[in-house]
Structure 1
């Protein structure tokens, strides 16, 4: 792989990082929002490196050209001296070649450019219903208990806006039953349930990046399912779990009184 190809790959990678982090919010499809400054810094460094390296290569090439001229002048001088004293001229050894493996390097470079080009042409969206259904299992793992995520008060007679993890935490592990009879509003995307008239309101939760995403789901009843993968805001009330259950985790349920279509949020993960 020659240096021009290396520089091009670094420029494309740096440009791709800046495109999704500095000039759009697409980076949030892959990592948490807090990583944005790091991605911008990394993209800037990746663009600066080939520019600085190209400047260094230019200066070095000028030095190589001077050395070539000097060797040519010495060869002419050696040939002249050899004729004067009647001997064979001493031929200096050629400069070492660096052409080995170039064809293979170009093939590797072509493969490295493919994922970068994909980001420019068609950046993959955030995880949706397909990823959820692929990872779906017969039994669900209960969400982590996040006491700090619980709202201080759920007020009757008003709409309480909760995150999916807050709702699941209160529905699964709240002895006071503070959700009972309260109107709540949740936001997520639609995943079909495959049975009855219910469907899943879903949100993915990540600790670092999309690779460690966990699925947070709420079973929505009382209204027809909107289009799969559409983002909606659901207002309704919690359906308490039946007493005497098996203890196996199942997603909490709610009865919807209103479903609003919304545009996908800039930060799709919780």
Structure 2
């Protein structure tokens, strides 16, 4: 790979990192706490690439051939340039993923990832939490993350969810288990994402069967006791009272 190609790749990759860090698109790939590292990496890549390009320009001007050079020198330079151009063609393919991120940021993971987890037999909430659950806040409707709802439904010996109306926000996934509300949980980045799912039950849930996958909803309802067991893959059922379509959140993952 020619130096010019390397330098250009550094600048474009640094620019892509800077773009997603500034616009918030980085949340589709990593946790919010990683933003400072993205800024740092972008600054280093842009700095190295621009400095290297500047040095190459200065060096090229310093070694520019005199105007009286013979034809043999021109022929050699043309032949060398042709060889370098041919050798660099595969390297330019590396620009494609960089430009994809720079121009059209890929979407966050969604329903397809949830179905792959289900087909692979991945079990959610299979471990009992190390610490006891704090009391739920007061109020007619308790907002919870899907992760907390799933964990409480499966492991809270005090049955704090019993009789309480909760509010959950997630995206729709249709599968053999019917209509589900899901979120993806990441520990570091999208590469380690795992799904948490809640099966939507009741007459109001039946009205959602034609709702497209990856549609974001905020639903309210009550847990169906005894549904978050090993037999169901610790996937609790929620009797839906209301369901409202909402915009996808800027940060689509739970942690």
Report the TM-score range of the alignment, normalised by the length of the smaller protein: 0.7 to 0.9
Give me the whole-angstrom Cα distance separating, in 2, the residues matched to 1:39 and 1:246: 40
| Match runs of 1:93-242 below 5 Å | 102-137=84-119, 139-143=121-125, 144-146=127-129, 150=133, 152-155=134-137, 158-194=140-176, 198-222=178-202, 223=204, 224-225=207-208, 226-241=211-226
Normalised TM-score (structure 2):
0.82
CA distance in 2, matches of 1:59, 1:138: 57
Equivalent residue number for residue 236 of structure 2 = 252
Q: Secondary structure at the match of 1:185?
A: strand
User: How far off is 1:194 after superposition?
Assistant: 3.3
Cα distance between partner residues in 2 of 1:135 and 1:210: 14
Deviation, 1:109, is 2.0
Deviations 1:49-101 (A, max 9, x none): 12111222233334435xx77xx9xxxxxxxxxxxxxxxxxxxxxxxx98696
**Contact residue 154 and residue 234 of structure 2 kept, 8 A:** no
**Contact 1:220–1:253 at 8 Å: present in 2 too?**
yes
Report if aligned partners of 1:205, 1:214 keep a CA contact under 8 Å in 2.
Answer: yes
Give the Cα separation in 2 of the matches to 1:219 and 1:267. 23
How many residues are aligned here? 239
Separation in 1, partners of 2:41, 2:102: 17
Report the aligned-residue RMSD. Answer: 2.8
Matching residue of 1:36: 35
1:164–1:187 CA contact under 8 A, matched in 2: yes
Name the residue aligned to 2:72. Answer: none
Q: CA deviation at 1:264?
A: 0.5
Aligned partners of 1:148 and 1:120: how far apart in 2?
43
Any unmatched runs of 5+ in structure 2?
70-78
- Indicate if the aligned counterparts of 2:123 and 2:233 stay in contact, CA closer than 8 A: yes
Deviations 1:8-54 (A, max 9, x none): 111111111111111x1111111111111111211122111121112
Structure 2 SS opposite 1:131: helix
Q: CA offset at residue 255 of structure 1?
A: 0.5
The SS at the match of 1:219 is: strand
Bigger Rg, structure 1 or 2 = 1
* TM-score, normalised with respect to structure 1: 0.78
**Aligned partners of 1:160, 1:171: CA distance in 2, in Å?**
14
> Is the 8 Å Cα contact of residues 156 and 182 (structure 1) preserved in structure 2?
no
Contact 2:9 2:95 in 1 (8 A): yes
Alignment CA distance shift 1:48-1:156 (3 Å): closer
Cα distance in 2 for partners of 1:242, 1:233 equals: 21
